[in-house]
Amino acid sequence: MQVAVIGCGYVGLVAAACLAELGHEVICIDSDSQKIEALNHGESLIHEEYLPELLQRHRGKRLVFSSDLAEAVRQSAVVIIAVGTPSDATGDADLSYVETATQEIANALNGYKVIVEKSTVPVRTNTWIHRAMVLNGCSPSDFDVVSNPEFLREGTAVTDFLYPDRIIVGSRSNRAAKIMRELYTGLVDGSYSKTTTAIPSPDPAVPAALYLDTSPETSELIKHASNAFLAMKISFINAVSVIAEGANADIEDVRVGIGSDKRIGMDFLQAGIGYGGSCFPKDVSAFQAIAKACGTDFQLLSAVRHINEEQLDRFVDKVRKTLWNIKGKNLAVLGLAFKSGTDDIRESPAINVIRRLLQHDCQITAFDPAALERTRDLLGDLITYADDPYSAMANADALLILTDWKEFASLDLARVRSSLRYPIVLDGRNLYEPTPMAEAGLNYYSIGRPPVEVALNSLVRTKTAKIS
């Protein structure tokens, strides 16, 4: 099938590469000519597992990159809109990029097309796209608009696309519904996973995706409700972590006790410094605006947002209380991306913690396996950038772990102890168990668990012994 994907961002680029992997002929379009040039020269642009492999496999064959949207539309049977929908000043989704793409599609229409909205959009955007097509001179018989939301997690987006839990398609046309099912045949019947060159499936993998045909409005609502619910789980466990600290309980055991209930599950039930990224903050805000437009005050979402913001302040307060005074202190930070597996720093809790700390005139040296350059573009020389974790913590007054990279969970703790000026570790992602930290001689402060201050007690005992 001939497919055009408008937008070479996280969603568009992954979708284009994966659709080419499924055997379709794909043109990926972006108005940024420098981005197109970089992609045509073999760059991946984003840090995403398996994406470089797919781009190398299909670039110039089943996958091409272009800035000519009109020509791509003319050549394609399916046109996917995957442009950004950032929040505006009121919290609503900014749909100006979607509108511009729609107008350009309408101007290039040369026969029947299925127009797919894959960007995260408010309910009834499908109707507005259809209306805009007609207002721009298109006959309703020459197109159908389908809602097909993405459920991709940054860091695992390729396997999420190729081994999905579900595929949601909202349409009003049997013709469009049939074409969309054909688009995803290899995923619906499980045949893709049986090919010899298939990207390895995650464990556990869903052998064949649930395919749900529904209305466009229902499809749009599913996407926002899904993200809001996941954000709610994160905020819930973070709120419980505050109670756990006050009660001298262990949030990790609480999490296991709660998450082992199959009705609840372990996913997104990890206490930390809160959610971030390009989806959850924007989508929770947009969903709240949608609820208001539909006649209800979704107060639960206000609490979700408040808890998430408060969690950042709590962690900064923990740093201040632990160090007594942080003005002039040298702090080592591990983690800049909003989560592991990506270089995305949009709404990153790590970056937001750093901004708050900088207000207290401390010095920060940071390391991240993937997000250094993006952070350098954002923060410039406000912080120092290290080449590896141990360089970041050299002679630092404390170590802060802010992103859940696997390599940060397997540090040489003896080396950490010898690198730091003071044996203090503040873990915003609960990557470590308290016992190994204590055995390494480190004072350890995490989220929702009692502090470990054996190293401090040891220092006190040593000084007392010397005096006596």
402 pLDDT higher than 70: yes
pLDDT at 27: 97
Q: How far apart are CA 396 and CA 346, in angstroms?
A: 27
- Looking at beta carbons, which pairs linking 83-90 to residues 24 or more positions away fall under 8 Å? 83/6, 83/7, 83/9, 83/12, 83/119, 84/7, 84/9, 84/119, 85/119, 85/120, 85/121, 85/282, 85/286, 86/282, 87/281, 87/282, 87/285, 87/286, 90/289
456 pLDDT higher than 80: no
Rounded to the nearest 10°, the torsion over CA 310, 314, 316, 320 is 150
Same domain for 194 and 294, yes or no, is no
DSSP 389-417: HHHHTTT-SEEEE-S--GGGGG--HHHHH
110 burial class (0-12, 13-18, 19+ CB within 10 angstroms)?
exposed
* Residue 128 belongs to domain with CATH number: 3.40.50.720
Q: Tell me if the bond preceding 204 is cis, omega within 30° of 0.
A: yes
Query: Are the C-beta atoms of residues 2 and 77 closer than 8 Å to each other?
Result: yes
Same domain for 57 and 190, yes or no, is yes
Does some domain include residue 341?
no
For residue 90, give both structure tokens.
């009121």
Does some domain include residue 404?
no
Same domain for 180 and 298, yes or no, is no
- Name the nearest CA neighbour of 206 among 219, 187, 220, 223: 187
Same domain for 101 and 172, yes or no, is yes
468 pLDDT higher than 60: no
Does some domain include residue 426?
no
Q: How far apart are CA 156 and CA 48, in angstroms?
A: 7
Catalytically active residues are 279
Helices 216-246/280-293 angle, 10° precision: 120
Does some domain include residue 277?
yes
> pLDDT tens across 120-146, in order?
888 889 999 999 999 999 999 999 999
Query: Are the C-beta atoms of residues 129 and 115 closer than 8 Å to each other?
Result: yes
- Name the nearest CA neighbour of 118 among 70, 77, 167: 167
Does some domain include residue 163?
yes
Considering 195, 214, 233, which residue would you say is the last residue of a domain? 214
List Cβ neighbours of 43 (8 Å cut-off, separation of 6 or more): none
Domain that holds residue 231: 223-306
Mean pLDDT of 416-435: 96
Higher confidence at residue 102 or residue 277?
A: 102
Does some domain include residue 415?
no
Does some domain include residue 189?
yes
Same domain for 121 and 247, yes or no, is no
Mean pLDDT of 318-344: 94
pTM for this entry: 0.89
Same domain for 151 and 263, yes or no, is no
Same domain for 37 and 175, yes or no, is yes
Question: How do the residues of the chain divide into helix, strand and coil, expressed in percent and rounded to 5?
Answer: 45, 15, 40
* Residue 273 belongs to domain with CATH number: 1.10.1040.10
List Cβ neighbours of 224 (8 Å cut-off, separation of 6 or more): 120, 122, 123, 283, 286, 287, 290
pLDDT at 457: 55
- Name the nearest CA neighbour of 346 among 373, 372, 374: 374
465 pLDDT higher than 80: no
123 burial class (0-12, 13-18, 19+ CB within 10 angstroms)?
buried
Considering 186, 214, 242, which residue would you say is the last residue of a domain? 214
Same domain for 184 and 97, yes or no, is yes
Same domain for 202 and 151, yes or no, is yes
Of the given ranges (19-33, 87-101, 391-405, 442-456), which has the lowest mean pLDDT? 87-101
Same domain for 162 and 27, yes or no, is yes
**C-alpha distance across the termini of the chain, in Å:** 83
Query: Are the C-beta atoms of residues 231 and 304 closer than 8 Å to each other?
Result: yes
C-alpha 467: how far from chain center: 54
Query: Are the C-beta atoms of residues 220 and 121 closer than 8 Å to each other?
Result: yes
Considering 274, 306, 338, which residue would you say is the last residue of a domain? 306
Same domain for 66 and 172, yes or no, is yes
User: Strand 424-427 and strand 398-401: pairing?
Assistant: parallel
Does some domain include residue 350?
no
Number of structural domains found in the chain: 2
> pLDDT tens across 37-83, in order?
999 998 988 999 999 999 999 999 999 999 999 999 999 999 999 99
- Name the nearest CA neighbour of 179 among 37, 298, 386, 2: 2
Same domain for 132 and 149, yes or no, is yes
> pLDDT tens across 150-172, in order?
999 999 999 999 999 999 999 99
pLDDT at 455: 59
Q: How far apart are CA 182 and CA 364, in angstroms?
A: 52
- The whole-chain average pLDDT of the chain stands at 92
